[in-house]
Structure 1
Amino acid sequence: MPYVTLAQLTDRFGEQMLISLTDRGVDALGVVDTDVVDRAIAETDALIDGYLARRYALPLSPAQPMLVGVAGAITVYNLHLFEAPPKIEADYKDAVRTLTAIAQGTITLSAAGVEASSTGSTGAQITDRERPFTEDNLKGFI
């Protein structure tokens, strides 16, 4: 299941914006091109999964509400063929910062995590080596 749907994008950004970003044919039809939106959503899902894969078991179930906004901002940014407006670009950068924070563990999602790889040891291992300076070989220096 994608992190954001066409209905959620329409609700958040408006149908007119989505039409202007996706109606790319020679003859404008005045409707949202769902194929273009689906490709952008798939690219966004792949990006988000790339950030989350080391920390969480994918696919995330249930859907995380925080990721809907993140996915929406990234998808709309990716739909722009040319330079995005400053607000869209700022939202995109905030979304990527949020994903980075999730990947680093600063922000935690309420989802099942991936088990950390273990070496089978229980903690620190200490090894002692022969000491190069001993009481016997330092006689006369102390």
Structure 2
Amino acid sequence: MGYATAAELATRYGADRLIDLTDRDGDGIGDDPMIAQALADADAEIDGYLASRYRLPLPTVPALLTRIACDIAIYRLLSLRRMGDIEDARRRYEDARRLLEAIAKGHASLGLPASLPLDEQPALSLAAAKSGPAPVFGPDQMGSY
């Protein structure tokens, strides 16, 4: 499942900007495979964070993740350009990473609708379930009971 499409990326950053970033041969046409690869790289990075907390794929794509995917993808495309072009993209990328880290730690929400049927609710991944807080009642707390 992709978190963002090329059309969503073009809406956020402008089709002209995507052409400018991906027109390798100078024909005025953007390189669709290059855009698709940047989006796939963004998806993989997002999944790397979310997998520690949620079962993937998610049942729906929250708008928050679409924005994060676009920011990461544009950063990846800009990283192929000269250094002066990357400052704003780096800030957005670092913001996106911090937000993904907060989501992975449970400090931020994906904003998934609460009305999803129970079987469509994302569950904690096995890693998150195994690394949860210590039990409240264990041998140390119960004494000789």
Instruction: Quote the Cα distance in structure 2 between the aligned partners of 1:2 and 1:108.
Output: 19
1:20 aligned partner = 20
Question: Equivalences for 1:1-142 in 2 at 5 Å?
Answer: 1-25=1-25, 28-80=26-78, 81-82=80-81, 83=83, 84-109=85-110, 110=112, 112-114=122-124, 116-117=129-130, 123-126=137-140
| Structure with greater proportional helix content | 2
Q: Report the Cα offset of residue 86 of structure 1.
A: 2.2
Structure 1 stretches of at least 4 aligned residues deviating more than 4 Å after TM superposition: none
- 2:115 maps to none
- Partner Cα separation in structure 2 for residue 50 and residue 21 of structure 1: 26
Instruction: Give me the CA root mean square deviation.
Output: 2.0
Counterpart code for 1:90: R
Residues in 2 aligned to 1:113 and 1:52: alpha-carbon distance in whole angstroms: 11
- 1:89-114 deviation line (CA, Å, top 9, x unaligned): 21111111100100111002225122
Task: Give the drift of 1:122.
Answer: 7.3
CA distance in structure 1 between the partners assigned to 2:136 and 2:102 by the alignment: 28
CA deviation after TM superposition for structure 1 residue 14, in Å: 0.4
TM-superposed deviation, 1:87: 1.9
| Ranges in structure 2 where 5+ consecutive residues have no aligned partner | 113-120
One-letter amino acid of the structure 1 residue matched with residue 24 of structure 2: R
Q: C-alpha separation between the residues in 1 aligned to 2:57 and 2:24?
A: 32
Change (3 A) 1:122 1:86: closer
Give aligned-pair identity as a percent: 39
Q: Highest CA radius of gyration, 1 or 2? A: 1
TM-score (norm 2): 0.77
Give the CA deviation at 1:34: 0.7
Provide the rounded CA distance (Å) in 2 between the counterparts of 1:122 and 1:5.
44
Q: What TM-score do you get using the length of structure 1 for normalisation?
A: 0.79
The whole-number CA distance in structure 2 between the counterparts of 1:63 and 1:53 is 14
